[in-house]
């Protein structure tokens, strides 16, 4: 059941980032200063987290999120 929930959240975040409504439906309008892109940032975080759950960890692309273990 948990896999389906994570997959659904990831899919909804992906659809939200595609912006099929051309900006007519947004949680926070983009023209609000300093806050306008927080909903896209949250959707990106949810999508990257869902992908990491299924083994596709793309968070390393952005660098420095986790401390690397030294051998």
Tens digit of each residue's pLDDT (9 = 90 or more) over 13-55: 998 888 866 666 777 777 777 787 788 888 899 999 999 999 8
> How high is the pLDDT of residue 11?
94
pTM for the whole structure: 0.70
> How high is the pLDDT of residue 4?
94
Long-range contacts of residues 58-61, Cβ cutoff 8 Å, at least 24 apart: none
What is the rounded CA–CA span in Å between residue 70 and residue 46? 29
> How high is the pLDDT of residue 47?
93
Q: Which two tokens stand for residue 41?
A: 């940032």
> How high is the pLDDT of residue 20?
67
> How high is the pLDDT of residue 68?
58
């Amino acid at each position: 059941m948990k896999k389906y929930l994570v997959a659904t959240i990831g899919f909804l975040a992906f659809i939200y980032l595609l912006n099929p409504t051309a900006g007519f439906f947004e949680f926070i309008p983009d023209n609000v200063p300093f806050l306008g892109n927080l909903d896209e940032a949250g959707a990106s975080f949810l999508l990257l987290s869902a992908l990491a759950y299924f083994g596709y960890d793309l968070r390393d692309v952005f660098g420095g999120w986790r401390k690397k273990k030294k051998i």
